[in-house]
Amino acid sequence: MMRPDPVTVEVIRNAMIYAAEEMGLALRNASYSPNIKERMDHSCALFDAAGRLVAQAEHIPAHLGSMPLGVRNTVELLRREAQQPGDVFIVNDPYIAGTHLNDILIVRPLFWQGTLVGYSANKAHHVDVGGRTPGSLSSDARELVEEGIRVPLLLFIRGDKEIADTVALILANVRSPDTTRGDLRAQVAAASLGDRRVRELMERYGRESVLAAWDAILDQGEEQAQRAFGTLPAGRYTAEDCLEDDGTPGGLLWLRVAVTVRDARVHIDFTGTDPQVPRPINAVFGVTTAGAVYALKAVCDPPSPMNEGWLRRVEVTAPGGTVLNPVRPAPVGVGNTETNQRVADVVLRALADAVPGRVPAASNGSMSNVTVGGFDRKRGRSWTFYETIAGGMGGRPDRDGIDGIHCNMTNTMNTPIEAIEQELPMRFLAYEFRPWTGGAGRWRGGCGVVRAWELTTEEATVSILTERTRVAPWGLAGGQPGALARHLVRRAGGREEVLPSKYTTHLRRGDALVIQTPGGGGYGDPIKRDPELAQWDAENELA
């Protein structure tokens, strides 16, 4: 194969990255649900014919880190299928696609002059995929089937026309079929846009030049990773952290990691992690990989583009049957939202020993998931809603953590109150920072938030799936922990019920849900804090 000149490689590399970004814009603009349109809970990427990641957009770390594995699994299954131009495939099985059932993976084979050259893929979190509870993230699911419809790899579009039976099967098993249909079509449109952009590159530069440039891009990625890992001191660095699980003796599940650096390669090994449990906090291996790779990339090499070449220098292992690599039929609903946050935390903690001064204190460590839904009698239809809620970022080696921000594995946006109240039977009572919740330190942790709303329809079912209600986000280098989360239901009569970290309950008209998210840990000795900053903290009640 010919070797393209460096300028052409650079042009094609940037064109591929922006194509993935443009796919994300199209998906957002065409979607129906606030979760995708407002929170942007979706991710897009482009792959070569072998399923190797060539380019991705700056979307959701949990999606992006798992998508290479999910697409490779899909490509392996597609070898048994007759792929044609205009085809689109769909899958959400976590043990194939790599996250949880709510994340539906759309894959479109890319053809040029009758030859398969790659894949355009995207993953989006659908607000409901059936299962026991509205939003499909049941707090007490004991096996995967309770979390919603499991879609194995199916043909969704043949020759640019929907397969009616596939569509009907999915829509018959969800609570908001109109929203689901709209979001699926937005995903298909995004995948088609990726197809168009790749074909444009092939028309301009020729198939051989583009494919050769893709190979060169992956080689560049490996070279960048080699340089980045070369700055890490060789050695073995260990850490442990825990998840909250009321079904486990002692109430905690332990994650343990050893990060080994040798010859500009990194091995992240989760041997010693607790066994899987019959609750939805297990994380499939794709999620575990995503959390580990995110932490490593954030510390060692934030600016360079991510692709399969960068991943060649990293090995992630987790024993089968553990909470970080479960076997069927283990439920995994919040493994993708809570457990992956802890994976990132524990790897960051291990890396803090390898490169002191480059790792921040722990951020809030929870996506603070809320799912709610019911039947709106006024509008005569079922409704569902899902969001994650911001918390405090950990203090950093040279500055404070940020207040009220989505941290680490989520990277989603705030859902505007106006968008929610316009479409759903919810009236907001509060959305504000939680003062004094950031951990003290030379650089304080960011504050958590209070987000509270009241139900305005007859009844609904709400589930919260959170963390850090008992074990606080850790401080670093002498910094103090961030404040714990605290969540409650305030009944219409005034009675308050404090909720455990993962819980499902029923609301009636006038009941309110109050979510109070954790603060971030502090960094450095609090005594060394600049007096002017300390005074500002006191005046603004943010310390």
Q: Contact, 496 vs 530, CB < 8 A?
A: no
Q: Which residue has the tokens 């790897």?
A: 347
Averaged pLDDT of the chain: 94
Question: CA 19 to CA 323: how far, in whole Å?
Answer: 36
For the residues 485-511, what does the mean pLDDT come to?
Answer: 96
Q: Contact, 215 vs 1, CB < 8 A?
A: yes
Would you state the pLDDT for residue 541? 66
How big is the CA angle at 241 (ends 272 and 259), to the nearest 5 degrees? 60
- List beta partners, residue 104: 124
Q: Which residue has the tokens 């003290």?
A: 440
Would you state the pLDDT for residue 410? 86
Q: How confident is the model at residue 489 (pLDDT cuts 50, 70, 90)?
A: very high
* Residue 543: pLDDT over 80: no
Percent of the chain whose pLDDT exceeds 90: 88
Which of 81, 46, 68, 67 lies closest to 155 in space, CA to CA? 81
Tens-place pLDDT, residues 410-424: 888 888 999 899 889
For the residues 468-479, what does the mean pLDDT come to?
Answer: 97
- List beta partners, residue 508: 459
Q: Contact, 76 vs 152, CB < 8 A?
A: no
pTM tops 0.85 = yes
Burial of 255 (C-beta count, 10 Å sphere; 0-12/13-18/19+):
buried
Tens-place pLDDT, residues 296-339: 999 999 999 999 999 999 999 999 999 999 999 999 999 999 99
Tens-place pLDDT, residues 111-123: 999 999 999 999 9
Tens-place pLDDT, residues 34-74: 999 998 999 999 999 999 999 999 888 889 889 999 999 99
Would you state the pLDDT for residue 377? 80
Would you state the pLDDT for residue 534? 84
If DSSP states are collapsed to H, E and C, what string results for 350-385? Answer: HHHHHCCCCCCCCCCCCCCEEEEEEEECCCCEEEEE
For the residues 442-461, what does the mean pLDDT come to?
Answer: 96
Contacts of 333 (CB under 8 A, 6+ apart): 100, 101, 102, 136, 137, 138, 141, 147, 280, 465
Question: CA 194 to CA 360: how far, in whole Å?
Answer: 36
For the residues 254-275, what does the mean pLDDT come to?
Answer: 97
Q: Contact, 350 vs 232, CB < 8 A?
A: no
* Residue 2: pLDDT over 70: no
* Residue 392: pLDDT over 90: yes
Q: Which residue has the tokens 């696609």?
A: 97
* All structural domains of the chain with their residue ranges: 6-223, 360-543
For the residues 151-168, what does the mean pLDDT come to?
Answer: 94
Q: Which two tokens stand for residue 267?
A: 């091995």
Would you state the pLDDT for residue 275? 97
Read off the amino acid at residue 6: P
477-to-234, 316, 361, 395 alpha-carbon distances in Å: 22, 27, 8, 10
Element holding 62 (H helix, E strand): helix 61-78
Question: CA 181 to CA 187: how far, in whole Å?
Answer: 10
Question: CA 171 to CA 154: how far, in whole Å?
Answer: 14
Q: Give one DSSP letter per residue of 148-185, joined into a string.
A: S----SEEEEETTEE-HHHHHHHHTTSS-HHHHHHHHH
Would you state the pLDDT for residue 144? 96
Q: Which two tokens stand for residue 207?
A: 């198939």
